[in-house]
Amino acid sequence: MGKLVKISGGVGLGVLLSQFPEYSQQYVQRLGGAVDELKTVVSDFDTSAQATGSTRETALASMAQGDEFLQRRGDDMGRTIDRYGYLDESYAILRDAGAYERLAYVRRFGDAQITKNAFADFQPAIPLSIEALVLLFGGYVFGYGAISGTGRVVRRRKKNKHE
């Protein structure tokens, strides 16, 4: 039974990792679209601020001094500007990265809206690329090893309890 669990863990993680190159490609495509749209919004805000002789910062500060609606819109715009900065930085890092590099930058795949939409449209594929096959094998080895190591720890604890 233990061997079956180890093999299942290895196969499961291997299959999961083999899908990463395709998922990451879809995520990066969506990320690029989000960056393009947010750039338009932020540029429009900056243009409006400049037209009134303000900078982005002074325009946001001015909104913070306005009525409740302006304060809320200023807060919204501040979050939009921050999100644009983070997503633009993430896109610059991920755009030309290969699957292995993207795996190293997995924390850059954390935008909840993009993640949700990418998963909604993601279709698992048979891993035919070299990267996907390497990740499949690596995932298998890591998954098998992790479950095997966990089993050894559990067995030792049980053995030490009974002694």
Nearest-angstrom CA–CA distance, 75 and 60 = 8
DSSP code of residue 109: G
In angstroms, rounded to a whole number, what is the distance separating the alpha carbons of residues 123 and 126? 10
Say yes or no: 116 and 143 in one domain: no
The total of structural domains in the chain comes to: 2
Q: What value does the mean pLDDT of the chain take? A: 89
The pTM for the full model equals 0.72
Which domain covers residue 2, as residue numbers? 1-19+126-163
**Is residue 29 domain-shared with residue 47, that is, in the same domain?**
yes
Same domain, 31 and 91: yes
Whether residue 118 is found in the same domain as residue 130? no
Rg of the chain over Cα atoms, rounded to whole angstroms, equals 24
Match 């299942």 to its residue by tokens. 8
pLDDT (0 to 100) of residue 127: 64
- 86 and 148 housed in the same domain: no
Kind plus residue range of the DSSP H or E element containing 89: helix 68-94
pLDDT at 1: 56
| AA letter at 104 | A
Whether residue 135 contacts residue 101, with contact meaning beta carbons closer than 8 Å, is answered with: no
DSSP 66: S
pLDDT tens, 25-71? 999 999 999 999 999 999 999 999 999 999 999 999 999 999 999 99
Distance of alpha carbon 115 from alpha carbon 90, whole angstroms = 13
The C-alpha atoms of residue 121 and residue 38 are separated, in whole angstroms, by 21
Is 53 in the same domain as 109? yes
The pLDDT of residue 134 is above 90: no
